[in-house]
Amino acid sequence: MQTLVDHHGRSFPYLRLSLTEACNYRCTYCLPDGYQVNGHPSFLTLAEIGRLVCGFAALGMSKIRLTGGEPSLRKDLPAIIAAVAAVPGIRRIALTTNGCRLPRLVRGWREAGLTALNVSLDSLDAARYLDITGHDRFAEVTEGIEHALELGFEAVKINAVLLRGRNDDELPAWLDYLRGRDVALRFIELMRTGENGEFFERHHVRAEGLQRQLLADGWMLRPRAADAGPALEYAHPDYRGRIGVIAPYARDFCAGCNRLRVTARGDLRLCLFGNFGISLRPLLQSDDDHHALVAHIATQLGLKAAGHGLHQGLTGITPHLASIGG
């Protein structure tokens, strides 16, 4: 089996695959005006997704994260999960969701083969949650998380984007929440995109301060698995849950990059904030193109840069995070 290694010595066992650009939320940091339909979007079909994952699995990919937009908007999501789970070599299938459909659908996803779940929950205060997301669904999401914790997932994680003046004072509440729950909380530093410049200037808070506070309070950094996401994860003997911090503006953040992305329209993105996409869709129309697909993917790693340009204010062609499952 071939493996994906770039010119900087980084290997890539982890693929983030967007299933749709559509989202039913209006999160202030991502899609404050909601999802805007542009023409008649044609997202990857079930058959195309199957061929795509087979191609990446042939190159050593073992972990697939299904993202959006909001992936639960796809009615064929259970079939997609099952198709990915059936690909030889794929050992972990994760899903990132806003959680609004968890109470009704999460059991079906688990039975289809989903092994890990990430749920967006930017606040433990229902009023703040409404203010940030534009939807009054806090009760449904938190109920869904509790349900998911009973289904035997390898991991259940919660994503919270750090926002100055909106939720950056909630660490005490989160600590109470984590004390007795086997869940990993991910604090994500707000990233600048092509469309959120003004919002970023008002609400960006560096994650480094949070990391210093955790260490001062006795939280200990855990070893990072080869196929782990970008979070640095901390544990504390007094808490069942863990805390992860994703700090894209930290020095050497990109040195540990181990993931590639494919958009809902079939474009390979070597970096979330890259300046170009590479269309794979023409090679997803027939099983006969498998070897050509594998070769095409493998040759693109030479174009992957050592790091993003966020420190210089360069956001590439990413208008908002929902467009690429950020």
φ, ψ (nearest 5 deg) of residue 160: -135, 120
29 is in an annotated binding site: yes
72 is in an annotated binding site: no
249 is in an annotated binding site: no
Cβ pair 189, 246 in contact under 8 A: yes
157 is in an annotated binding site: yes
Q: Cα–Cα distance between 211 and 148 in angstroms, integer?
A: 28
69 is in an annotated binding site: yes
254 is in an annotated binding site: yes
Q: What are the structure tokens assigned to 232, written together?
A: 């640095």
Contacts with 84 (C-beta within 8 Å, 6 or more apart), sequence order: 49, 50, 53, 64, 66, 90, 93, 113
Q: Cα–Cα distance between 147 and 96 in angstroms, integer?
A: 16
Q: Cα–Cα distance between 236 and 219 in angstroms, integer?
A: 5
75 is in an annotated binding site: no
Q: Cα–Cα distance between 30 and 67 in angstroms, integer?
A: 14
74 is in an annotated binding site: no
110 is in an annotated binding site: no
224 is in an annotated binding site: no
Crossing angle of helices 126-133 and 138-148, in 10° steps, is: 100
100 is in an annotated binding site: no
30 is in an annotated binding site: yes
107 is in an annotated binding site: no
Q: What are the structure tokens assigned to 171, written together?
A: 């660490």
257 is in an annotated binding site: yes
20 is in an annotated binding site: no
Q: Which residues are annotated as a binding site for [4Fe-4S] cluster?
A: 23, 27, 30, 254, 257, 271
Q: Which residues are annotated as a binding site for S-adenosyl-L-methionine?
A: 29, 69, 120, 191
Q: Which residues are annotated as a binding site?
A: 16, 23, 27, 29-30, 65, 69, 96, 120, 157, 191, 254, 257, 259-261, 271
Q: Which residues are annotated as a binding site for GTP?
A: 16, 65, 96, 157, 259-261
